[in-house]
Structure 1
Amino acid sequence: MYKYDYLIVGGGIIGLTIARELKARMPKKTVCILEKEKDVAFHSSGRNSGVLHAGFYYSADSLKAKFTKEGNQAMKEYCRLHQLPINECGKLVIAANEDELNGLKELKRRGDLNGVNLTWVDEKDIDQYDKNAKTYKKALFSPSTASVDPLLVCQTMKQELVEKGVDFYFQTKYIKSNGNHIETNKEVLTCDYFINAAGLYADQIAKDFGFGKKYTVIPFKGIYLRYAENKASVTMNIYPVPNLNNPFLGVHYTKTVDGTIKIGPTAIPAFWRENYRGLERFNLKEFLRIIYYETKLFVTNAFQFRRLAFTEMKKYRKKYLIHLAKGLVRNINDRGFEKSIKPGIRAQLLNTETLELVQDFVIEGDKESIHVLNAVSPGFTCSIPFARYIVDVMMKKKEDKIMIGGATE
């Protein structure tokens, strides 16, 4: 039986950055990471777009606003330090009509409150930023938005942690806990402190420790299409004005770290947590629970779920997805889009009492464990300062021996 000072469940970017922060502060403490897959970043962290967001979508009182701007710079610094590629291409947010122009004004207001550099662009000048972009009267330009290779970042961080003495247990699945004894599918490990960064399964693990009682994960599938015809057709990220009542940013153009263009993502309600393709990784228990809540959302039409579900399901049709993307640019060839690339699943937290999608990060815990819930986009961008914050909170609560809970404590 192996004993560790800190045991982390989850080998995604949040688990990796927490381990990195722990070793930076306490190099002599023992740390391990349990990961049920054969390597790090198998799920959301390795399947996201790689966009480093600037931080203007989020209300100023949120953890997302607190860490996105700082995280953008921290991740760029990490990539430069380790000689990893960065595409500092920027982003345009464009409007389609007068209502969306008001949406741009709200984004600018939030950006100003969050200290994010945003520039107004007149319709007549937009081709100076991207010759293919089009907008209604105005657009917003974000110079700090960039792209990195998320899988390469995670692999580099894994190697860094191995060199610092962090133990990785791959294909090792958390089963249950009994005090500080953590049972896995292979062995029992013990720890002084337990850290739950399990992404899609964080809510389930939290409940074993008496946390996350009013939350459940509702998975949403994100699909992208790659544009193969000409990498120069779009030179930067081009986004629509999002519906700020939900956490999804709409179909947009992403410029990846190697200059590839892709459109997406969808936010299609999934039916089990790892519902990537067909019946792959089907789980009946998850299916029944998720269908129960999705049916409840459909019947009550909470946050206009019916409209969201119908609109997103239509995006399974390649033609419809391309149609939405075409509205953001002057000219793009429909036939230039290849079949969908590796899909991702967003581990979106639902408050089961209010039937609202949780917009911010959530942390719950006490003197023995901490649970990172709803670390969805821009979780990758925020990860380095967010991990610092999590360890700060963890240390304080270990000393104070006070239970914590909620998004902003």
Structure 2
Amino acid sequence: MKHYDYLVIGAGIMGLTTARELKSRFPHKKVALLEKESDIAMHASGRNSGVLHAGFYYTADSLKAKFTKLGNQALTQYCENQNLKINKCGKLVIAANEQELNGLQLLKQRADLNGVPLLWVDETEIKSIDPNASTYQKALFSPTTSTIDPLEVCHALKNENARNGVEFHFNTLYKGHDKDVIITNRELLQASCVINAAGLYADKIAHDYGFGTKYTIIPFKGMYLKYEKNKTDVVTNIYPVPDLRTPFLGVHFTKTVDGGIKIGPTAIPALWREHYSGMKNFNFLEFITILFYEAKLFLNHSSHFRRIASDEIKKYKKSNFISLSRKLIRKIDEEGFGEFMRPGIRAQLLNKETLELVQDFVVEGDHRSMHILNAVSPAFTCSIPFAEHVVDSVIQKQGGRLTADE
């Protein structure tokens, strides 16, 4: 039976950066990554929008505010150091009417509190940034928002981890544990400490260890439409003023790392955890459980779920989806959009007691196991400092005994 000092479950962006951080601090410790798929980033991380967010949406006392600013800087530097593609195109947040100007003001206040550059721009300045952007009187411009290729970043992290001695166990599904013995579909593994970065299944693994019992994962399907006519009709990322009472930012234009244009995403409530299309990956128990909680959310209108569900389901109709994006720009060829791109699933944490869709990151555990329960957007942006936080939490639970020399 192989023994590891640290066994990380899940080879998405959080698992990869956590393994990297462990090896950086403790180069002589044995670290392994356990992944049920055949390669890294097969789910949310590999289907990510690719936007490196700046960090102005979040309240100053949140982990998201802290890690988004630091993560934007860290991933930008990582891409530059590794010669990975990055498109420093910025982002415009535009207002549709007088009321939404108040929303822009709130975002500006949060940016100032978080120490994030965010600039007021008038209509003349907006035209110099993106002539096609449409706003009411003024907008906000984020100069530090960029786009990257999420798969390229994840594979760079995989290669770095492999060079540093991290062992990968692919096609290996966590089935349970008996104290420090991890039971999988392939073999038994022994680990002094388990770090759970399993995304859509993080809550189930946490429950096995007695953590996160008041939480469950509710999946939301995110889809984009690619604009196939050209790469020039939109120059920068263009976002609406978001409803900050919900975890979602609304339909927007994303300028991809290769200069392409796409609109999205949806946030459609899914009916099982890997509900990407049709009946593929259908799981009856997941279906019943998720439907139960979604029904509770709908009936109680908790976290504005009834409105979210009603609005989001309409986006399955392509014309409705495109019409929402039309509000952000002066003109676009509606016939220039292709079909829906490969969907992703957002693992959104739900507090079962309060029926709240949890908006900040949540990590629970002890010296034997640590569980990343809520790593929702912008977790990709936040991944490097978030991983530092997770490792800090492990060391703290272990009594702060570990040093880089051990």
> What pairs with 1:51-70 in structure 2 (closer than 5 Å)?
51-70=51-70
The residue that corresponds to 2:104 in the other structure is 104
Tell me the TM-score normalized by structure 2: 0.98
The CA distance in 2 between the partners of 1:85 and 1:290, in whole Å, is: 38
Q: Give the letter aligned to residue 42 of structure 2.
A: F
Q: Give the letter aligned to residue 380 of structure 1.
A: F
> What pairs with 1:278-293 in structure 2 (closer than 5 Å)?
278-293=278-293
The CA distance in 1 between the partners of 2:60 and 2:355, in whole Å, is: 23
Q: Give the letter aligned to residue 379 of structure 1.
A: A
Give the C-alpha shift of residue 137 in structure 1: 1.2
The CA distance in 1 between the partners of 2:206 and 2:163, in whole Å, is: 30
The CA distance in 2 between the partners of 1:74 and 1:304, in whole Å, is: 34
Residue aligned with 1:8, SS: strand
Alignment pair present for 1:313 and 2:307: no
Give the C-alpha shift of residue 55 in structure 1: 0.1
Q: Give the letter aligned to residue 333 of structure 1.
A: D
Residue aligned with 2:244, SS: coil
Alignment pair present for 1:363 and 2:378: no
Residue aligned with 2:226, SS: strand
Q: Is the 8 A contact 2:223 2:341 kept in 1?
A: yes
Q: Give the letter aligned to residue 323 of structure 1.
A: S
The CA distance in 2 between the partners of 1:187 and 1:314, in whole Å, is: 45
The residue that corresponds to 2:79 in the other structure is 79
Give the C-alpha shift of residue 316 in structure 1: 0.2
Q: Give the letter aligned to residue 171 of structure 2.
A: Q
Residue aligned with 1:399, SS: coil
> What pairs with 1:208-223 in structure 2 (closer than 5 Å)?
208-223=208-223
> What pairs with 1:10-409 in structure 2 (closer than 5 Å)?
10-399=10-399
Q: Is the 8 A contact 2:196 2:370 kept in 1?
A: yes
Alpha-carbon RMSD across the aligned residues, in angstroms, is 0.9
Residue aligned with 2:238, SS: strand
The CA distance in 2 between the partners of 1:111 and 1:346, in whole Å, is: 25
The CA distance in 1 between the partners of 2:308 and 2:202, in whole Å, is: 25
The CA distance in 2 between the partners of 1:259 and 1:340, in whole Å, is: 18
Give the C-alpha shift of residue 280 in structure 1: 0.8
The CA distance in 2 between the partners of 1:352 and 1:341, in whole Å, is: 32
Give the C-alpha shift of residue 400 in structure 1: 6.3
Q: What does the per-residue CA deviation read over 1:321-374, in whole Å, with 9 as the maximum and x for residues that have no partner? A: 000001100010000000011100000000000001001000000111100011
The residue that corresponds to 1:407 in the other structure is none
The CA distance in 1 between the partners of 2:102 and 2:38, in whole Å, is: 47
The CA distance in 2 between the partners of 1:266 and 1:69, in whole Å, is: 25
Give the C-alpha shift of residue 124 in structure 1: 3.8
Give the C-alpha shift of residue 230 in structure 1: 1.3
Residue aligned with 1:159, SS: helix
Give the C-alpha shift of residue 208 in structure 1: 0.2
Q: What does the per-residue CA deviation read over 1:66-117, in whole Å, with 9 as the maximum and x for residues that have no partner? A: 1101100100111111110100000000000122111000000000000000
The residue that corresponds to 2:404 in the other structure is none
Runs of 4+ aligned residues of structure 1 deviating over 4 Å after TM superposition are none
The CA distance in 2 between the partners of 1:127 and 1:99, in whole Å, is: 22
The CA distance in 2 between the partners of 1:186 and 1:283, in whole Å, is: 22
The CA distance in 1 between the partners of 2:165 and 2:307, in whole Å, is: 50
Residue aligned with 2:398, SS: helix
The residue that corresponds to 1:8 in the other structure is 8
The CA distance in 1 between the partners of 2:254 and 2:5, in whole Å, is: 41
Q: Give the letter aligned to residue 253 of structure 1.
A: F
The CA distance in 2 between the partners of 1:114 and 1:70, in whole Å, is: 11
The CA distance in 1 between the partners of 2:41 and 2:304, in whole Å, is: 32
Residue aligned with 1:232, SS: coil
The CA distance in 2 between the partners of 1:356 and 1:396, in whole Å, is: 29
The CA distance in 1 between the partners of 2:301 and 2:229, in whole Å, is: 40
Query: What is the number of equivalent residue pairs in this alignment?
Result: 401
The CA distance in 1 between the partners of 2:214 and 2:315, in whole Å, is: 31
The CA distance in 1 between the partners of 2:124 and 2:143, in whole Å, is: 19
Residue aligned with 1:202, SS: helix
Q: Give the letter aligned to residue 225 of structure 2.
A: L
Q: Is the 8 A contact 2:246 2:304 kept in 1?
A: no
The CA distance in 2 between the partners of 1:290 and 1:312, in whole Å, is: 17
Give the C-alpha shift of residue 126 in structure 1: 1.4
Q: What does the per-residue CA deviation read over 1:16-70, in whole Å, with 9 as the maximum and x for residues that have no partner? A: 0000001011111000000000100000100011100000000000000011011
Q: Give the letter aligned to residue 238 of structure 1.
A: I
Q: Is the 8 A contact 2:217 2:348 kept in 1?
A: yes
Q: What does the per-residue CA deviation read over 1:253-274, in whole Å, with 9 as the maximum and x for residues that have no partner? A: 0001001100000000000000
Give the C-alpha shift of residue 396 in structure 1: 1.1
The residue that corresponds to 1:405 in the other structure is none
The CA distance in 2 between the partners of 1:208 and 1:177, in whole Å, is: 8
Give the C-alpha shift of residue 123 in structure 1: 2.6
The CA distance in 2 between the partners of 1:111 and 1:203, in whole Å, is: 32
Residue aligned with 2:104, SS: helix
